[in-house]
Structure 1
């Protein structure tokens, strides 16, 4: 697999301003190619190159797209979610071979869940290189900011999400008070000192599952003891829901780490009406030769 640093270097040639490309390269290199631009870096680049954050994100779409893994479709999509903090979070579509197509992560899901795992509390803009599909429009409608969320495409900017999703159905239609990215704590407990299981437990407590009340979280430990986490993101339309394993794998890949470095995966789940254990085990069987450490609450 081509290292992400090489993919990004290739993507830089697609940025019109080579000075901007060089400046972004230095920032990403310093942070070991993690797919995020902190708000301080965004402000600096915008001032230096006389751009708005949205204009900057549009120019950086080739870099976000470099994180794409699309072995099935060969169709690479990049997205950037701009947080309320001003930070830009990269995202890209992820496809997994030899398993169900439902295991796929769309680029908009990738960018938004990446922001979520970095404790971002709101998304103001989503910038993407192709028009969002209906699946992603519905996923974005789970955000509290959905009524004001702006979508920016290379050929069309400043479009409200609801212009792509008229007469939308979402959390408010089901009298749901908690939205995706809101802080949540489901008060799940488990006695252990194991840091991997504790991370998975914390992620389950942060899960967004107001419809099924079935909560689960994932923790992935790497060989260097780094731990990545993922929480379940449920959707009012159900099918656009994003399992915690995909959220965690997305977090890992956008942190410029590799699946080959995984040494342990733990899942904590309170399966009230549905369980994601089988789906997670099936995906892992095609990715790594490591059993899922499963804790049922």
Structure 2
């Protein structure tokens, strides 16, 4: 049986009868439905269809929205983070049944976390099919490119993030100089031989937690594959992105939603805050698994 992403893309091709979308779906199929377009592929599409990268990204939004998981709202939001490399990182909103609403992944968070885990160094443009909510505006304000980040919507392009978030409060107000998407490296080590624990500890070492120091990472075992997620804090605290959501989002955008998660490991530094209770809640509700917890 086709998974929901493949079905959504197939239905989109039938509905739109758009050659660009059809070729986009062929490209995604060829790469195992990984929701990323490398710079060379973006340039190829732009030349073929005589579009700028932003124009091309706007045309891709219905494709990105097919990666949404919306059992509650039935409202799919698609987003594309254009990295400074020129690559496109798709994102989509995700909702989790039997978990709290606060566990929801917003489309902009999805695309940004996707780019971060893929090794992108900065986001140049955010392209999204609906106006970013206040939560996402604040989340994007944490980026190292926030001052120059441009937001593009189907009805309005080339708007700076700070046009949507005037007089913004952010990390520099709290004297944080090494901000989100700047390199993060924290001295956590694991001396054992379990590769899943090692991956979770490595994810924690690259997480972003300048406010609480509660660095954390999650690793998921999918057969022989390991998918990781990293914690990313925010100056406004509530838009903080938790590591299990980061990992589940990356799993989905890698086209691996039909691969069963067998184990979940969370590694977290000792601090005044912890993500463990919310992580346990989501792992139980969404995956039916207990967390293997490593205190760093």
Normalising by structure 1, we get a TM-score of: 0.96
Residues in 1 aligned to 2:258 and 2:139: alpha-carbon distance in whole angstroms:
26
Residues in 2 aligned to 1:259 and 1:28: alpha-carbon distance in whole angstroms:
16
Counterpart residue number, 2:291: 292
Residues in 1 aligned to 2:227 and 2:179: alpha-carbon distance in whole angstroms:
23
Counterpart residue number, 1:120: 120
Which runs of 5 or more structure 1 residues have no equivalent in the other structure? none
Once the two structures are TM-superposed, the CA of residue 13 in structure 1 deviates from its matched residue by 4.5
Counterpart residue number, 1:5: 6
Counterpart residue number, 1:276: 275
Pair 250,138 (structure 1): closer, same or farther in 2 beyond 3 Å:
same
Once the two structures are TM-superposed, the CA of residue 142 in structure 1 deviates from its matched residue by 0.4
Counterpart residue number, 1:231: 230
The answer on whether the counterparts of 2:46 and 2:56 sit within 8 Å (CA) in structure 1 is yes
Once the two structures are TM-superposed, the CA of residue 21 in structure 1 deviates from its matched residue by 2.0
Once the two structures are TM-superposed, the CA of residue 206 in structure 1 deviates from its matched residue by 0.5
Residues in 1 aligned to 2:57 and 2:247: alpha-carbon distance in whole angstroms:
24
Q: Secondary structure at the match of 1:159?
A: strand
Which runs of 5 or more structure 2 residues have no equivalent in the other structure? none
Does structure 1 residue 245 correspond to structure 2 residue 244? yes
The answer on whether the counterparts of 1:15 and 1:62 sit within 8 Å (CA) in structure 2 is no
The answer on whether the counterparts of 1:124 and 1:148 sit within 8 Å (CA) in structure 2 is yes
Residues in 2 aligned to 1:23 and 1:292: alpha-carbon distance in whole angstroms:
41
Residues in 2 aligned to 1:15 and 1:56: alpha-carbon distance in whole angstroms:
16
Which stretches of structure 1, 4 residues or longer, exceed 6 Å deviation after superposition? none
Q: Secondary structure at the match of 1:51?
A: coil
Residues in 2 aligned to 1:15 and 1:242: alpha-carbon distance in whole angstroms:
34
The answer on whether the counterparts of 1:37 and 1:88 sit within 8 Å (CA) in structure 2 is yes
Once the two structures are TM-superposed, the CA of residue 23 in structure 1 deviates from its matched residue by 2.1
Instruction: After superposition, give the CA deviation of every residue in 1:4-62 in whole Å (9 maximum; x if it has no partner).
Output: 1221122234657x321232122111101111111111010001111111100100000
Residues in 1 aligned to 2:111 and 2:56: alpha-carbon distance in whole angstroms:
16
* Count of residues in correspondence between the two structures: 295
The answer on whether the counterparts of 1:67 and 1:254 sit within 8 Å (CA) in structure 2 is yes
Residues in 2 aligned to 1:184 and 1:2: alpha-carbon distance in whole angstroms:
35
Normalising by structure 2, we get a TM-score of: 0.97
Pair 259,248 (structure 1): closer, same or farther in 2 beyond 3 Å:
farther
Residues in 2 aligned to 1:260 and 1:32: alpha-carbon distance in whole angstroms:
13
Counterpart residue number, 1:141: 141
Once the two structures are TM-superposed, the CA of residue 190 in structure 1 deviates from its matched residue by 2.2
Does structure 1 residue 56 correspond to structure 2 residue 56? yes
Instruction: After superposition, give the CA deviation of every residue in 1:219-262 in whole Å (9 maximum; x if it has no partner).
Output: 00102x11111010100000000000000000001111126611
Does structure 1 residue 255 correspond to structure 2 residue 254? yes
